[in-house]
Amino acid sequence: MSNEIPNELPVEDQPSADGAPEAPSRWKRRSRALWVEWLKPLFVIGLVMFSFRSAVADWNDVPTGSMKPTILEGDRIFINKVAYDLKFPFTRWRLAQWKDPAWGDVVVLRSPDDAKRLVKRVVGLPGDVIEIRGNHLYRNGEPAVYRLLDQRDVLGYFDNDPPSALYTEIVDGRQHAIRIRGTGVQLRGPFEVPEGQFFVMGDNRDNSRDSRYFGAVDRSAILGQATAVALSVERKSWYYYKPRWSRFFSDLP
């Protein structure tokens, strides 16, 4: 057996100031391994995923019927956040813009009242004069065309609670279904949409808090365009949910 003393000691066995070997604690070694092997990759994946949802595409669960019959309670809608522009993730800083919302687009926006997310339809563009008479929409003095619909053709079932009627609303050749129950919320005279703002309404005209209440919304408040229903589930009771298979991956008019 050799009695030679090595000239160098391993790092963990190097003597400290008082001559005793000094080594990293077991807790530090385990913490470093946990960060490198688990936490750092998860952090990077989460950052990429949330940045994508913030700036490119997202989904939104719809808890209310303000867009009925186009969007039902329990729908999960797909939101195209680059439909109009590109924003820096987690901010409203606009990096590029290619177009503005068009009449009839279903958009997701921040409410001017409380900054909550809302899903509404654009019915007035900058410079348009909007009127609501007897729940009928007038744009620049021209009335929309209305045609009565069979509820079964739109919803797949008859919904008469409360009593209501479904119509097709047609403006400039573009159409969508709306729900009317009564006289609805009227506007006090014509409303001219200011430059850089948009007039939005829910398709469920008697059950929607929209521009008839809080006025036109700024372009910067519009987060993206809702283009499709990804999933849809009807709640039968607090523990039983029924999928609406016919609405899965369906486009929004």
Measure Cα distances from 134 to 11, 142, 143 in Å: 85, 14, 11
Dig out the tokens for 198 from the structure.
């948009």
Task: Verify whether residue 120 is a known catalytic residue.
Answer: yes
Candidate list 120, 164, 211, 232, residue with the active-site label: 120
Exposure class string for 100-110: b at 16+ Cβ within 10 A, else e: ebebbbbbbbb
Structure tokens at 244: 């609406």
Asked if residue 139 lies in contact with residue 122, where contact means CB atoms within 8 angstroms, the answer is no
Tell me if residue 51 is catalytic: no
> Which of the residues 66, 208, 211, 232 is marked catalytic?
66
Residue 159: C-alpha distances to residues 113, 175, 179 (Å): 31, 21, 11
Alpha helices in the chain (DSSP H): 26-34, 40-55, 151-155, 211-214
Residues acting as catalytic residues: 66, 120
